[in-house]
Amino acid sequence: MQTRSAPLIRIGIGYDIHPLKRGRRCILGGVEIPSETGPDGHSDADVLCHAIADAVLGAAGLRDIGAYFPNTDPACKNMNSMDIVRRAVAEASARGYRIQNVDATVIAEQPKLSPHLDAIKASLSDALQIPEDCVGVKATTNERLDDLGAGLGIAVHAVCLVARA
């Protein structure tokens, strides 16, 4: 059987979705966004960090964040999701990969993210250990369609490119 060396570059895809809950803090990319509702979940429910961490782990050929941070583990309760991103970066690095860039799209009717995108990019840049111009974060709505469009949830699609270090 012929063996193949690992490719020099790889791409990973991440996705996450959380319901929104009144009175919950809204944290996206490590930045608290003023809002009456926030993502509900076991950790701080930073849906942006979760999708990006899954994209990083996937690019490195690793398991998803649930394998590292199960929602049944009391130690993960209210965990800062920036730590999840940092762990994903460390796991990819241990496999010989360095993050090249990340791009993500947040899908939500509220809150308005455009005033916070620079702060979110700076926060993610630090956690991912890459320049800010290598972090893309966009926001869109679901045009009032389905539960996301009704303002009941927030979702994120993310991709990550890694290269052999």
pLDDT at 2: 52
E-assigned strand segments in the chain:
9-22, 26-28, 31-33, 37-39, 97-107, 135-140, 153-164
Domain containing 156: what range? Answer: 10-164
**Domains identified in the chain, total number:** 1
The gap between the terminal CA atoms of the chain, to the nearest Å, is 27
In this structure, what token pair is assigned to residue 157? 């699609």
* Chain segment 59-73, per-residue pLDDT in tens: 999 999 989 888 888
In this structure, what token pair is assigned to residue 47? 């849906």
* Chain segment 98-114, per-residue pLDDT in tens: 999 999 999 999 888 99
Dist CA 5 CA 117 (whole Å): 38
- Is residue 57 domain-resident? yes
pLDDT at 155: 96
pLDDT at 144: 84
- Is residue 49 domain-resident? yes
List, for the chain, all residue ranges whose pLDDT scores fall below the cut of 70: 1-4, 6
pLDDT at 3: 57
Look up the CATH number of the domain holding residue 136: 3.30.1330.50
- Is residue 130 domain-resident? yes
- Is residue 116 domain-resident? yes
- Is residue 87 domain-resident? yes
